Structure 1
Amino acid sequence: MDWSAIQQQKAKREVERQAGGWAIERKKCAADILYWFDRHVWTYDPRLTRERNPDGTRKSPYVPFRLWPKQREILLQIGELVDAGEEGLIEKSRDTGATYLTAGFALHRWLFVPGFKTTFGSRKVDYVDKKDNPDSIFAKLRIMARRQPPELMPEGFNWAQHDNYMRLVNPATGSVISGEGGEDMGRGGRSSLYVVDEAAFVPNADAVEKALSGNTDCVMWVSSVNGMGNLFARKRHSIMKPHQIMRLHWRDDPRKTEEWAAAKQASFSDPTTWASEYDIDYTASVEGICIPALWVESAKRLAAMEPRLKPSNAGVVGLDVGAGKAKSVAIPRKGPIVLPPKVRGHPDTTGTAWWGLETAVETGCDALNFDAPGVGAGVSSTLMHRDDNETAADAERAKRFAHLAVVPVNTGISPSERLWPDGRTSEEMFGNLKAEIWWLCRTALQRTHEHVLWIEGKENGREHPLTDLLALPSGDRESDQLCLQLSLVKWGRNDKGKIVIERKEALAKRGIASPDHADALMLTFVDPPAAPSVAMFLMKRHRS
């Protein structure tokens, strides 16, 4: 065999070797979207051209997409919702890459899932696709697609033929990414996934939703916030379930610091712009909010900033008892430390009563405060009233909870006899106990915010005793739900000039579901009376 033939064979084997390697790589990418993102997805940031490389040349605006932990979590959650045929919602700060994430998800399905169709919609078609506009959704898709290795692109794909205005076709599998805008959203045929970009700003959103109902089973609503008076806010607060909701806050971006936030916030003449577009505050422009979202954000950061903060030895669990399909929520608080909420979906109040007691014991608390009226009456019956069906086993079981104080709470009654720093009594200030305990929580969170500002050396900062502060949990769905609900409820005054808290009926008119997590936390602020222990109640019942 001559030398040229040997070289040809070697070249052929090298091509086969590389082809086999890319076949393996393709399988890995198809099986794991995070693997694909980490190795083959690029993004575009023109601000990078201001910076220089070590050799003095300017940096390229095209950089590999480095996913943050929260972005990785959201990509997987989108996949779960799409595969289950459920809609989802992403609330976001500006400049957190949410559009790139949804575009990347769509491109991954376009590459590796035959017949998959994603449609992107926005209030204007130019936001979906416009020539030479790198901020349009299809420009982002093309940036990512053009930087894919040729071996991962579809067989037979031709940019001139298969990339058209608001339409990207995979000739090998029939997968499509398409676009729509304005009032035409939802009317362009069926889709596997429909992404509504900046959904809180879409006019006639209810009509768009109606059109989408015949288009797809899975709509992904993506937006920064725009107050409470829109479909996006209603879906977020009263329609969707926690597993359908995703959140991308600027604090999830490891590149952004408190110094960056201060400078950015100072650049806005209207403080509500920062609050809504970056701090994801739905109530930024709503008057009368009892607990500002800014205070809640400070309380979420307190534990990491204040190493002297410690939980108290004693603690109390607030139990909001769910009615019907609503879940019961238990929140333990040990002095200034609020532990992550626990939820129970079973409707039987007997089981809920025992579950509340177990929660108190497991979290090292010595008291359980629960809402007694309404559905809570069933818990009262289990814990405090005689039941002829009780057994000796119940009395024996009660010994485990012998140290607990159990307090039934009716927040509709008169306030306590507390004396406030200005010399007024709670009876003079509040219309009922509910208003008083909400104000106690508000006061603790206000002090927390002032204390955080003091730690940071900022204006209006003030040091407070650690026992007067409140550190809130965050990072899991139930904790995030608690933090969100705290800054949704409004306060006002009754006809006697006393402070009252917005009723659930009024919240519903604003499109806000019952704030069960927040109500559970408020119950921890009820002063414990000289209450007998739960064991005494249960054992008394049995002896009777």
Structure 2
Amino acid sequence: MIWPPDYTGEFKRRIKMLEVLGKDPVLRVGVMAYYRDNPKQWINDWCMTFDPRIAPPDPRWVPFILFPRQEQFIDFVDGCFKDKESGLAEKARDMGVTWECVCYSVHAWLFFAGTAIGWGSRKEEYVDDKDDPKAIFTKVRQLLANLPLWMLPRGFDFRKHATYMKIINPENGSSITGEAGDNIGRGGRTTIYFKDESAHYERPESIEAALGDNTDVQIDISSVNGSANVFYRRRMAGEVWEPGKVMPKGVTRVFVFDWRDHPGKTQEWYDRRRDRADREGLLHLFAQEVDRDYSGSVVGVIIKQEWVRAAIDAHIKLAKLGDWFAGERIAMQDIADGGGDKNAYISRKGVVMQRADHWGGDAGDAAKIAVPYAIEDGVHELYYDSIGVGAGFKAATNTMQEQPSWPRSLRVMQWNAAASPLDPTDHVIPGDDQSPTNEDQYGNLKVQSWFRVRTRFWKTYLAVTRGQIFDPAEMISLPSDMTNLHQVCMELSQAVKKTGTNGKTIVDKKPDGSLSPNLADAAIGCYCPTRETSILDVL
């Protein structure tokens, strides 16, 4: 998609459309019937947006032209609305999410009778201030003012029906109302409620209590603001939405807006903005608002989010260092242990992560999905977490191995997280006899593996950001087009380091009541196989 769009051409297209529809009331009826079930097209045909960065004499009010990820977000909100399920938008800065939700609100207000739409933000002036184009209700009024008169409700009068923090549709009884701060959720029942900058409220628990009984659908919109808030807990307990994905009932749907989703933002743009933030001592804000980094304020994070981000497409950024795909083809299956937990599968080719997927079900079901994945990925060694329910996975794969179609090159191998560390008498820092040994430092194989993968990310970060040279075999790369990339990245930075009662390092994978990072667990095992010789050495 070309960015910025051709606004002049779009103005001409809309003017022509206005001329045609203005002369044909019968055609208008058909068009409105079409728009009712097609909010994306309605937005692309009629909605405007305000960009204060546009310098005069060019107009700052321009046609709202959705880019592909924005169109998917409208599908996301529409699905929440129709399914009566709550959603959460985790966004990088400048993605137009509030504008999109305002457009969707006006669409629902126009086309669905009796719809009560609520809007809230932490301060009243952010909700409605007629002199501030950034205020939510200023956006609503401007959208309505730019619609053709024949599209507005019969009898609609701006002076009567577009008052302070309230927009009434006199034709069908729909409404858009606003609230701020602790008053959010206390103004009566709503069909759908949008909470803008939801991670930044002062007393979010009281707001949640009020909204819980007063709305069918709650949409939280926010940039990140650390992990000590309700937004973070809801995000981590939610299920990431993707087009066509079957979503579980009663679980918050999560939409991730990464800066890479914007067609106008390139790696060069990112590097320039990050360098400026670094020079000005504002890197922590950049990490929150652009990188969506929850871990910046969390003490003891094992794999820092900025290290993980540096590893995205590292095999492309650092292709000159060698063949990143050479060597092992390994996969790891983390087994769900019930209680809403998920199975997770990670595979890699060399040191480049190949596939990341997770799903519900028991250990036997996991084998029916993981084994075909492993065969398709050309895996030689498929590891599984052997503790507890892992026995069910092994039993299922034993049965499958009796089939003639089982590839002779594929071995299923156990990975025992509670086992003793590998190379127990080796020192943690190679060549440093003063550093502790692996058996003295790490409580078990799981802990040691987290720190070995940490070293991979650290070396990759140094190579990408500082030009240091390492063998690709010592690093790691996450393809930017890999399914579930955002979830993998977040989970890898969830675990924190702690010290056990015996003085050894332990890993807390679920700080602050977070859900188990199953994809991260699978990734850790995938990059830390427990045998000493590669299967490639014996084939």
Q: What TM-score range do you get, normalising by the shorter chain?
A: 0.7 to 0.9
The one-letter code of the counterpart of 1:372 is S
The one-letter code of the counterpart of 2:209 is K
The one-letter code of the counterpart of 1:515 is P
Q: 1-side partners of 2:392 and 2:220: how far apart?
A: 39
Shift of 1:466: 2.4
Q: 1-side partners of 2:239 and 2:358: how far apart?
A: 17
Provide closer, same or farther for how the CA distance between residues 112 and 303 of structure 1 changes in structure 2, counting only shifts above 3 A: farther
**Residue aligning to 2:6:** none
Q: How does 1:278-357 map to 2 (within 5 A)?
A: 278-307=290-319, 310-312=324-326, 314-324=328-338, 325-347=340-362, 349-357=363-371
Shift of 1:263: 4.8
Larger Rg: 1
- Cα deviation, 1:132-175, whole Å, max 9, x if unaligned, reads 12111111112222112223222222111211001111122211
Shift of 1:96: 1.8
Q: 1-side partners of 2:70 and 2:509: how far apart?
A: 37
Q: 2-side partners of 1:264 and 1:30: how far apart?
A: 45
The one-letter code of the counterpart of 1:525 is Y
8 A Cα contact 1:340 1:479, kept in partner = no
1:371 aligns with 2:377: no
- Cα deviation, 1:376-411, whole Å, max 9, x if unaligned, reads 132244456xxxxx7xxx564165143222221211
- Cα deviation, 1:74-124, whole Å, max 9, x if unaligned, reads 111110011000000011122221111111110111122222221001122
Number of paired residues? 495
Q: How does 1:28-427 map to 2 (within 5 A)?
A: 28-49=34-55, 58-239=57-238, 242=241, 244-256=253-265, 257-266=269-278, 268-307=280-319, 310-312=324-326, 314-324=328-338, 325-347=340-362, 349-383=363-397, 396-397=402-403, 400-417=406-423, 419=426, 420-423=429-432, 425-427=437-439
Normalising to structure 1: TM-score of the pair? 0.84
Three-state SS of the structure 1 residue aligned to 2:417 is coil
Three-state SS of the structure 2 residue aligned to 1:400 is coil
The one-letter code of the counterpart of 2:226 is G
8 A Cα contact 1:406 1:532, kept in partner = no
Moved more, 13-22 or 441-450: 13-22
The one-letter code of the counterpart of 1:118 is I
**Residue aligning to 1:440:** 452
Q: 2-side partners of 1:398 and 1:373: how far apart?
A: 29
Shift of 1:245: 0.2
Q: 2-side partners of 1:371 and 1:15: how far apart?
A: 63
8 A Cα contact 2:356 2:482, kept in partner = no
Three-state SS of the structure 2 residue aligned to 1:339 is strand
**Residue aligning to 2:244:** none
Shift of 1:21: 3.6
8 A Cα contact 1:407 1:531, kept in partner = no
**Residue aligning to 1:482:** 488
**Residue aligning to 1:518:** 520
- Cα deviation, 1:188-224, whole Å, max 9, x if unaligned, reads 1111100111111112212211211221110001111
8 A Cα contact 2:127 2:135, kept in partner = yes
8 A Cα contact 2:110 2:153, kept in partner = yes
Provide closer, same or farther for how the CA distance between residues 331 and 228 of structure 1 changes in structure 2, counting only shifts above 3 A: same
- Cα deviation, 1:221-246, whole Å, max 9, x if unaligned, reads 11111111111111011255655001
- Cα deviation, 1:352-393, whole Å, max 9, x if unaligned, reads 234332221121000011111122132244456xxxxx7xxx
Provide closer, same or farther for how the CA distance between residues 16 and 327 of structure 1 changes in structure 2, counting only shifts above 3 A: closer
8 A Cα contact 2:256 2:486, kept in partner = no
Q: 2-side partners of 1:474 and 1:15: how far apart?
A: 43
Q: 1-side partners of 2:34 and 2:354: how far apart?
A: 40
Q: 2-side partners of 1:187 and 1:499: how far apart?
A: 47
Moved more, 214-223 or 305-314: 305-314
Provide closer, same or farther for how the CA distance between residues 237 and 410 of structure 1 changes in structure 2, counting only shifts above 3 A: same
Q: 2-side partners of 1:395 and 1:532: how far apart?
A: 21
**Residue aligning to 2:10:** none
Q: 2-side partners of 1:302 and 1:146: how far apart?
A: 48
Provide closer, same or farther for how the CA distance between residues 267 and 62 of structure 1 changes in structure 2, counting only shifts above 3 A: farther
Q: 1-side partners of 2:376 and 2:118: how far apart?
A: 48
Three-state SS of the structure 2 residue aligned to 1:467 is helix
Three-state SS of the structure 2 residue aligned to 1:368 is strand
The alignment's C-alpha RMSD in Å is 2.6
Q: 1-side partners of 2:395 and 2:21: how far apart?
A: 77
The one-letter code of the counterpart of 1:363 is D
Provide closer, same or farther for how the CA distance between residues 73 and 370 of structure 1 changes in structure 2, counting only shifts above 3 A: same
Moved more, 419-428 or 79-88: 419-428
Three-state SS of the structure 1 residue aligned to 2:389 is helix
Q: 2-side partners of 1:109 and 1:149: how far apart?
A: 17
Three-state SS of the structure 2 residue aligned to 1:340 is strand
Provide closer, same or farther for how the CA distance between residues 239 and 142 of structure 1 changes in structure 2, counting only shifts above 3 A: same
Shift of 1:306: 4.3
The one-letter code of the counterpart of 2:374 is A
Three-state SS of the structure 2 residue aligned to 1:39 is helix
Shift of 1:20: 3.2
- Cα deviation, 1:250-302, whole Å, max 9, x if unaligned, reads 23222232244235523642422111122111111112111111111122232
Normalising to structure 2: TM-score of the pair? 0.85
Three-state SS of the structure 2 residue aligned to 1:514 is coil
Shift of 1:340: 2.6
Provide closer, same or farther for how the CA distance between residues 350 and 254 of structure 1 changes in structure 2, counting only shifts above 3 A: closer
Provide closer, same or farther for how the CA distance between residues 28 and 350 of structure 1 changes in structure 2, counting only shifts above 3 A: closer
What is the aligned-residue identity percentage? 30
Provide closer, same or farther for how the CA distance between residues 220 and 268 of structure 1 changes in structure 2, counting only shifts above 3 A: farther
8 A Cα contact 1:228 1:511, kept in partner = no
Q: 2-side partners of 1:305 and 1:97: how far apart?
A: 29
8 A Cα contact 1:340 1:473, kept in partner = no
**Residue aligning to 2:474:** 468
The one-letter code of the counterpart of 2:392 is G
The one-letter code of the counterpart of 2:264 is R
Q: 2-side partners of 1:174 and 1:476: how far apart?
A: 45
Provide closer, same or farther for how the CA distance between residues 525 and 180 of structure 1 changes in structure 2, counting only shifts above 3 A: same
Q: 1-side partners of 2:98 and 2:166: how far apart?
A: 17
Provide closer, same or farther for how the CA distance between residues 25 and 512 of structure 1 changes in structure 2, counting only shifts above 3 A: same
Provide closer, same or farther for how the CA distance between residues 74 and 395 of structure 1 changes in structure 2, counting only shifts above 3 A: closer
Q: 2-side partners of 1:28 and 1:406: how far apart?
A: 54
Structure 1 unaligned spans of 5+: 1-12, 53-57, 385-389, 454-459, 534-544
Q: 1-side partners of 2:502 and 2:341: how far apart?
A: 34
Shift of 1:303: 4.3
Instruction: Decide which of 425, 430, 453 is 2:442's aligned counterpart.
Output: 430
Three-state SS of the structure 2 residue aligned to 1:247 is strand
Q: 1-side partners of 2:170 and 2:468: how far apart?
A: 64
**Residue aligning to 1:26:** 32
Shift of 1:321: 0.2
- Cα deviation, 1:13-66, whole Å, max 9, x if unaligned, reads 9998432343343333323122112221111122212xx5xxxxx222111112
Q: 2-side partners of 1:267 and 1:525: how far apart?
A: 35
Shift of 1:339: 1.7
Q: 1-side partners of 2:354 and 2:231: how far apart?
A: 29
